[in-house]
């Protein structure tokens, strides 16, 4: 009797977790939909909470599926392991919310990759299941209403959130859905370990009509999104420095996200940047990940080490008696002011205040959407990162109609874009905050201005 009571209690917990997860996922998705597509202003704190819940809750749903499958199979040990596995997968959420992010950073690299890929996989499977389940229940309810109207009796509706007894079509789908995230996470982790620290070197030319004639051919090495930390580790930096120095460019620029988030990795990142050779200047701007841990400490340390850090300011650069300008914007999320963020337009006004509009200007930003503001103010060439080339794309780089994760977020995704007389180059970046890239290879780029 005690065993039967325990089984009923676990079953009820499983049922509550499944439904609570489904409802929470729908709410989180609704907030994101309102923000992305309907352009409803949502506070950043609420966005962060919605993203965290939207990522964490599918693991609760997975546990309810897996525990139900294993319970029917009588696999007590595996049920215990599935519960422990789910707790381990959710542990980074706990560390982030309690301010103990360094515990998460200390996980072994293979485990970090597995957990991140697990959440991606279980989110996809979970949201598909919620969408299919919601649609199915609406159709069932509609069918019941129609039958009740015809006969006065209603069909019984299974409300056990995918836990029907017996080997039914639903139970087979639940078993497949429970196994799929494990397969995807394992495959992705193997791919991520193979890609770790690798990048390509790409060389392109960009038109610069206002560049002084005898400066034509000026070369700029464009680096972005190093994300030094748990995935792009300090051990990967020597190869990056060697590749940059082999290019021998006239200038080196770094367009943000030097660290993934932890300020503890900044000293080794700055040491590597300091070894990157140039003839006429090394310039940097700040990315959003740089400001996660401690904005004040990051800016103070970076500015002390790199005088070329540009925060809403422009600097003249004298090359063989000719002057050009380099302007850099601080990180902003969108075009115009929102809350404490002045936006790209205001930052561009401040950065270009007092600059010479007749002088060739190279603009540096992290978010490529700042190109609109800089192009409207006559900046000749703009370099940006942030997009990772889309990170997970179905189409290859440079596709006329890119399809993938990045195409949902960015109108300037990768490569060269033009707006009136201004040009933009967006690099896919050299490092990673996510373990796997698909059709978005890591890169550093040498740009020759012609």
Number of domains in the chain: 2
Based on the fold, state whether residues 290 and 162 are members of the same structural domain.
no
Based on the fold, state whether residues 151 and 261 are members of the same structural domain.
no
Based on the fold, state whether residues 445 and 375 are members of the same structural domain.
yes
Based on the fold, state whether residues 345 and 373 are members of the same structural domain.
yes
pLDDT by residue for the chain (450 residues), tens only, comes to 544 454 455 556 655 655 566 666 566 666 666 655 656 666 666 666 667 777 788 888 888 888 888 888 888 899 899 999 999 999 998 888 887 888 888 899 999 999 999 998 988 887 777 666 544 444 444 455 445 444 444 444 343 454 444 556 666 766 777 788 899 999 999 999 999 999 999 999 999 999 999 999 999 999 999 999 999 999 999 999 999 999 999 999 999 999 998 999 999 999 999 999 999 999 999 999 999 989 999 999 999 999 999 999 999 999 999 999 999 999 998 888 877 889 999 999 999 998 999 999 999 999 999 999 999 999 999 999 999 999 999 999 989 899 998 888 899 999 999 999 999 999 999 999 999 999 999 999 999 999
Neighbours of 211 (CB within 10 A): 20
332, 367 in Cβ contact below 8 A? yes
Task: Please report which residue ranges of 74-168 form alpha helices under DSSP H.
Answer: 76-97, 101-105, 109-151
Based on the fold, state whether residues 269 and 344 are members of the same structural domain.
yes
Based on the fold, state whether residues 55 and 171 are members of the same structural domain.
yes
Domain end, chosen from 156, 177, 194, is at: 194
From first CA to last CA, the distance across the chain in angstroms is 83
Domain end, chosen from 142, 177, 194, is at: 194
Identify the bridge partners of residue 443 per DSSP, sorted by sequence position.
Answer: 200
The reported pLDDT for the residue numbered 13 is 61
Neighbours of 130 (CB within 10 A): 19
Task: Please report which residue ranges of 317-421 form alpha helices under DSSP H.
Answer: 343-352, 371-376
Kindly list the strands in the beta sheet with 322-328, ordered across the sheet, starting from the edge strand earlier in the chain: 313-319, 322-328, 361-364, 381-384, 422-426, 415-419
| Domain extent for 57 | 2-194
> Distance of CA 344 to CAs 172, 333, 366, Å?
51, 8, 11
Task: Look up tokens 């609760």; give the residue.
Answer: 60
Based on the fold, state whether residues 156 and 278 are members of the same structural domain.
no
Based on the fold, state whether residues 236 and 164 are members of the same structural domain.
no
Based on the fold, state whether residues 239 and 362 are members of the same structural domain.
yes
205, 450 in Cβ contact below 8 A? yes
Based on the fold, state whether residues 182 and 221 are members of the same structural domain.
no
Pairing of strands 361-364, 322-328: parallel
Task: Please report which residue ranges of 319-358 form alpha helices under DSSP H.
Answer: 343-352
The CATH number linked to 368 is 3.60.21.10
Domain end, chosen from 194, 222, 246, is at: 194
Based on the fold, state whether residues 237 and 271 are members of the same structural domain.
yes
Based on the fold, state whether residues 373 and 357 are members of the same structural domain.
yes
């Amino acid at each position: 009797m005690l065993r039967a009571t325990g089984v009923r209690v676990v079953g009820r917990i499983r049922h509550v977790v499944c439904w609570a997860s489904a409802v929470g996922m729908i709410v989180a998705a609704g907030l994101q939909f309102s923000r992305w597509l309907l352009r409803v202003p949502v506070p950043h704190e609420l966005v962060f909470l919605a993203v965290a819940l939207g990522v964490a809750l599918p693991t609760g749903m997975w546990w309810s599926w897996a525990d139900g499958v294993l319970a029917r199979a009588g696999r007590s040990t595996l049920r215990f392991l599935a519960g422990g596995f789910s707790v381990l997968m959710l542990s980074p959420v706990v560390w982030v919310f309690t301010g103990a992010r360094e515990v998460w950073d200390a996980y072994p690299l293979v485990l970090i990759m597995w957990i991140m890929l697990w959440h991606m996989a279980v989110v996809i499977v979970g949201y598909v299941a919620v969408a299919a389940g919601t649609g199915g229940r609406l159709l069932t309810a509609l069918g019941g209403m129609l039958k009740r109207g015809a006969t006065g009796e209603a069909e019984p509706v299974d409300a056990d959130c995918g836990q029907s007894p017996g080997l039914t079509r639903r139970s087979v789908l639940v078993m497949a859905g429970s196994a799929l995230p494990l397969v995807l996470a394992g495959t992705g982790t193997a791919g991520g370990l193979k890609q770790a620290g690798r990048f390509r070197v790409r060389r392109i030319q960009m038109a610069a009509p206002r560049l002084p004639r005898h400066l034509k051919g000026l070369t700029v090495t464009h680096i972005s999104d190093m994300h030094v930390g748990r995935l792009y580790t300090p051990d990967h930096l020597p190869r990056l420095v060697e590749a940059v120095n082999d290019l021998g460019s006239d200038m080196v620029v770094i367009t943000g996200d030097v660290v993934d988030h932890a300020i503890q990795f900044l000293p080794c990142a700055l040491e590597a940047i300091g070894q990157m050779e140039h003839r006429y200047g090394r310039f940097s701007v700040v990315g959003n990940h740089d400001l996660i841990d401690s904005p004040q400490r990051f800016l103070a340390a970076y500015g002390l080490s790199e005088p070329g850090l540009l925060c809403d300011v422009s600097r003249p650069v004298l090359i063989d008696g000719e002057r050009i300008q380099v302007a850099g914007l601080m990180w902003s999320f969108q075009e115009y002011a929102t809350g404490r963020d002045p936006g790209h337009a205001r930052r561009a006004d401040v950065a270009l205040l007092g600059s010479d509009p007749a002088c060739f200007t190279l603009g540096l930003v992290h978010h490529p959407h700042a190109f609109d503001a800089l192009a409207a103010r006559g900046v000749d060439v703009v370099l940006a990162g942030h997009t990772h080339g889309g990170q997970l794309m179905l189409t290859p780089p440079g596709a006329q109609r890119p399809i993938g994760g990045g195409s949902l977020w960015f109108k300037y995704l990768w490569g060269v874009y033009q707006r009136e007389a201004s040009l933009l180059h967006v690099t896919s970046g050299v490092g990673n905050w996510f373990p796997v890239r698909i059709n978005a290879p890591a890169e550093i780029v040498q740009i020759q201005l012609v």
